[in-house]
Structure 1
Amino acid sequence: MKKYINKLFVLGSLLFLAASCETDGQLTTLATVTFPSAIEVSSSTIVLKEDVSDQQTLLVSWPKVTYPIAAPVTYALQFDLTNDIKGSEAWGKAKRVEVGEDVLSKAFTVFELNKIATELGLKPNVAGELVIRVESTMDHRIYSTPVTITVTPYEKVVVFGEIYMPGSYQGWGIETAAALKEIQVGIFQGYMTLPEGAGPGFKINRERGWAQFFGAGATNSDLKNMSDTDLTLPGAGSYQIKVNLNTLKWTATAYSWGIVGTATAGSWDASTPMSYDHQTKTWKITTTLAPGALKFRLNNSWDVNYGPADSSTNTINLGNQASYSIGEAGTYEVTFTINEVDPVSNGYPATATCTIVKK
């Protein structure tokens, strides 16, 4: 009898395992998942020029990959050289660009593609081949069939120039106007705050003088040499200003560092924006703080934030989860100083500095 009971137990176990395997068959790791069609590029031959480096030059798009389970699919792009996509080290040197969940295209500016090409080893002013493939991830990764494009990169020129931005926000004094630094040939970038009640008008001057300036052209986005019509900002607030003298265009993008944490009015949910002092190149705020935590982040988002690795110092570190501890309620002056760089080209520096002083 015992022998028959054991046989029945084994048979039941096998039936259970079979049923389990049938259920597990729904897992995507056991299913064949592929790209349903080829990826596409907007151009297969591209000659890159630095004077239009902020313009779009390449659009890569791909079909949706369908997995057996309904969940977000994460996509990324890989770029590599033709000689590096075969063998045991295939794609090991590839430049990977994260795209996001359920996003089916990615655009690249001239600058971005030039950076990828030169970092992979293509020589300036010489046509070379780049291979592109799309990576799709849910619980495992699959890759599209690669496509090849021909790219002629340029050699980046080191630039050190400045232009200036006199306007109503600082009384039109050219000597105290905000400076915009040259970040690429003919392209300038800087920061400023338009206070509440100040007029929105300004000009762009090549020197700290009025011998030559740019005002508004056909539209507010156009620069026109010696135009008496003021360029205008959207309204009160802090902005990243970018001027392209190659194309005679300019943009103002809302841009503000702020304080966040339980010591601030918005706690962890909403940053309290700081104002930019363009003369000292420092972000500042005087505000009431409660006992609690305080750190710094950009544009009311956690994408870029700084916290102290050592809270006994004024040095704060990119992406650090720590915060300063405010021990006593009161009015404080808080400053934040960072060596701003173009986030498209070089990202943000590893450290910044701050002061927190009770008034």
Structure 2
Amino acid sequence: MKKISLMLTLALSLGFVSCDDYDLPNPPAQTNPQEPTFEAGSLNVSSLAGSMVIDLTTVNDANELVALAEVTAVENLPEGYELSFVGQMAANDAFSPAVEFETSMDETKVLANPDDLDAAFHEVLNTIDPSAKTVNIRYKAYAVRGTSSVRLGGADVYYCPMTASIKPFAPDFTVEEEYYIIGTCTNGSIDASKAIKMTNSGASPYDDPVFSVVVDITSDEAAGGYNWAVVPRSTLSAGKGTVLAPSDPELASDFEGYLVNRDASEGIFGVINASNKHLITVNVRPDSDDLYSYSVQLAIPNLWTPGPANGWNQGASQLLYTNDYKNYEGYVHIDGEFKFTSAPDWDHTNFGFASAGKLSTDPGAGNLKVTQNDEALGNGLYWCTADIVGLTYTATAINTIGIIGDGTPGGWDNETVMTPSADFLTWTVKTTLKEGTFKFRANNGWDINLGGSLDDLTPGADNIPVPETGEVTITLNLSSLPYTATVVK
């Protein structure tokens, strides 16, 4: 069994004395006696969590502490010293990163305050969702005398690695999983068969409370005023109850403002007086005044990408496309920096730099820059994504593009690399194809790939049937939408 040195000799005690003004009856002898050892197995700590859910609210309301672990064996602890533990919590069993929390001892049990566990839980998981989640916990052990302590086993020794299911304190508001639009689309009633479902990023609505939906408003609907309000799933299921409607009916047609909780029977709605597709966005987490912010904007079919690569000319830039008018993606030729714009000019919404990975619509926001490991990247092709509701973006450098598939020389195991043009928007390769299928993929991986048909290539789409066998020249065009390719024999 591994021996772990425990510095509890008189020499160590002398170190305690010099720090804490303890009186020794006699000075230690000037010798080098055999240092006492503490076997790792001599301190046994077992989890008390089991498979139960630790409900912090229940424990706190009972004015109790959480019993996390129990010391089942301890030997060779010198007289006058007591055991003490510091807990570490993490989202993974590698404990990277870890958050520490205080513990106390009640005879053999290791206890923690619900407040300390709640704080660690939220920091580790970066969530305010009140549902129970599993975390990893372990302990650093100390021998303590007065205000002095020595860690048992050294810096790399931890005890009782365990998992625990913890239900944190709930916030002082409730957010439901699903929200819907009612109004004109439901003939003014709460009709579950006609209500239009809103969506968020897919994360917990406590952590991402921004829900959005695109409504396609006809000319007749716009002439009469397109009515809308937001209902949670509970109201939709009951056919009555609370809706989120404009806080001031006089401002119901404003493109942005606030909603409040109202009874559906009041019949108050937001109003859109223009036809075409509109994006309705609502933050379903109330602010300090119990208001819910919203915005209504004309749905943007594309984002433009002006920058030095195209002379800051939207008309010469590549477009990002969208399937939901919230998330956009596409290939972009970038030379150092760029911006996203909602129109082929500077007179509409422009998206600039807020912070790393974050967009800003402020007029004075700086240019977006492509970086890797905090170093600026230069001229090249990038796969860009943008979330104009969550105001986030990514720009992934495209180092290679190749063809791969059972119709190519390398099969599905080895891709055939293509050659880019000077502006990185056209990629070609001369190769030999046989009967089968193939796809285009970037960076020798599957995260970014194109499939479907040669005249309408789509990310992640099906394999492309080989149109010509034998020696061919394949040309991939990424300069405009839709992306296309040719295979010439």
TM-score bracket, normalised by the shorter chain, equals: 0.3 to 0.5
| TM-score in terms of structure 1 length | 0.43
Q: Which structure's residues are more often strand, by fraction?
A: 2
Point out the structure with max Rg over C-alpha.
Answer: 2
| TM-score in terms of structure 2 length | 0.34
Using CA pairs below 8 Å that are at least 6 residues apart, which structure has the higher relative contact order? 1
